[in-house]
A and B are shown apart, each in its own frame.
Chain A
Amino acid sequence: GQNIDQPTEMTATEGAIVQINCTYQTSGFNGLFWYQQHAGEAPTFLSYNVLDGLEEKGRFSSFLSRSKGYSYLLLKELQMKDSASYLCAVMDSNYQLIWGAGTKLIIKP
């Protein structure tokens, strides 16, 4: 079967750094996406990785290792507004998105 694993909840302090991990087992791979979803709102696109390595975009970076079936989202200089759920999704060989359950990130002052 196909599955995406990510922690259910994480807590971090304002100004700090947090890494949200995602491991996956899918039938084929056509890229991995990270989305941010604030409570009561729709997801917004953060990043897309299809090649191994680190993609940096401002305070957010996303890493991919295809051989390990592993990705992480790194958030630096955390702000209170970063409190949200972070969804990992993998596109399989049929170009279907397989969604993780999301990681709820709680930022404390």
Chain B
Amino acid sequence: NAGVTQTPKFRVLKTGQSMTLLCAQDMNHEYMYWYRQDPGMGLRLIHYSVGEGTTAKGEVPDGYNVSRLKKQNFLLGLESAAPSQTSVYFCASGRIQGTETQYFGPGTRLLVL
């Protein structure tokens, strides 16, 4: 099993450009999450999904959109990138909510100039 994979690993964008980050998991997990990690701020939840076709806002959703068209994939979109969105983005998945372990992908480093 590959676990949780993320594409791309690294990307440089100019302000105003758009892009989509792809997360895929092969563990048949219901729950998927997108976090961003900035120095000194830990991990902050952007959006999450409790199942195929459903999404919900997390702690810092502004400037991002998500879609969960297939159970194994969770996409994070930036419609108009801003320098404040320079960060490391982690996707995670979990089997059930409430007590489950979250399994993280390797991360995507995004630099917005």
**Chain A bound to chain B:** no
